[in-house]
Amino acid sequence: MSLALQQLRIYRHDTCMLSLDCCIAPGEVVSVTGPSGSGKSTLLNVVMGLQELPFRYDGEIMLNGKPLDAVAPHKRNLGMLYQDPLLFEHLTAGENIAFAVPPAARRGQTKTALRDSITAQLDKVGLGDLYTRPVQTLSGGQQARVALLRTLASKPQAVLLDEPFSKLDTTRRAQIRDWVFATLREQQLPALLVTHDNDDVRAAGGRIIEV
C-alpha cells in the first residue's frame, strides 16, 4: 500500500498556498509541519476529496498506483483521525466500531461473530469490557483508542491524521501516540500526519515535510 502526492500544488483563490511531492511507503508516517494557516488541514481535505472553493489543486493523488482525483470521498478507502474523536454519541463504544465495518467484511458474519471480533480488538487495547459503554462515559484516552479502532475497522488503505493527540493530557498522549504509530506500522498503512508538536514528529519516525 502506498500513497503518493505527485507535484501537488494547492491554491487558495489563484495563489499557490502549499506545494509538495512525496510518496509515502507502507507503514511510513510522513509528518507535515508548518505555521498556522499554511494549509496543512486543507492538504488533508484535498487528499480526502473534501476541499471546497476557494481551494483547488493540481498534480496527482495516487493510492496504490491509481489516481484518486475522480474518486468520490467515501470510495477513496482513506481513514481519517481528527483532533476530536468524533464518535457517534448515541452508540456504544463497540457499536461505533461496528458501524465502520464495510458491508463486504460484514457479509457471511453473524452479529455475534462481529461483536466477538470487535470485543477482541477492544481487549487488545485494554478496553475489552467496554463494548456496551456509551461513548460519553469514556475518558479522552479511551475515546481516542475507540476512534482509531473505528478508523481501522473501515479497512483503509492509508490514514490521514490531523493533530489527533493534541487534546490528550501529556502522559496519555505519549502512550496513545506510540500505540497509534505502532499499529499503523504493524498494518503497513501509509500515513500523513499534520501536527504542531515536535514530540509527535519524533515519535512518528518518518520523513518531515515543512510547508
Ligand X SMILES: Nc1ncnc2c1ncn2[C@@H]1O[C@H](COP(=O)(O)OP(=O)(O)OP(=O)(O)O)[C@@H](O)[C@H]1O
- Cell numbers 467496554 correspond to 130
In the complex, minimum distance from the CB of residue 52 to ligand X, in angstroms, rounded to a whole number: 7
Instruction: Give the one residue of 7, 54, 90, 126 binding ligand X; rule: CB under 6 A.
Output: 54
Residue 191 near residue 78 (C-beta atoms within 8 A): no
How far is it, in rounded angstroms, from Cα 97 to Cα 141? 16
In the complex, minimum distance from the CB of residue 167 to ligand X, in angstroms, rounded to a whole number: 14
Strands 15-24 and 3-12: antiparallel
Applying CB under 6 A, what is the total number of residues that bind ligand X? 10
How far is it, in rounded angstroms, from Cα 193 to Cα 189? 12
Q: Which stretch binds ligand X (CB under 6 A): 39-47, 112-120, 181-189, 197-205?
A: 39-47
In the complex, minimum distance from the CB of residue 49 to ligand X, in angstroms, rounded to a whole number: 15
Nearer to ligand X, 55 or 131 (CB): 55
Phi, psi of 143 (to 5 degrees): -65, -40
Site for ligand X in 8-37 (CB under 6 A): 12, 34, 36-37
Instruction: Give the one residue of 31, 39, 165, 204 binding ligand X; rule: CB under 6 A.
Output: 39
In the complex, minimum distance from the CB of residue 5 to ligand X, in angstroms, rounded to a whole number: 15
DSSP letter assigned to residue 71: S
Instruction: Give the one residue of 19, 41, 121, 154 binding ligand X; rule: CB under 6 A.
Output: 41
In the complex, minimum distance from the CB of residue 36 to ligand X, in angstroms, rounded to a whole number: 3
Which three three-digit cell numbers place residue 2?
502506498
Nearer to ligand X, 32 or 130 (CB): 32
**C-alpha dist (Å) from residue 53 to 18, 45, 81, 137:** 15, 12, 23, 38
Let me know how many helices (H) and strands (E) the chain has, helices first.
7, 9
Helix (H, G, I), strand (E, B) or coil at 158: strand
Q: Nearest CA to 125 among 62, 175, 67, 186?
A: 175
Nearer to ligand X, 27 or 34 (CB): 34
38 forms part of the interface with ligand X (CB under 6 A): yes
Give the interface with ligand X as residue ranges (CB under 6 A). Answer: 12, 34, 36-42, 54
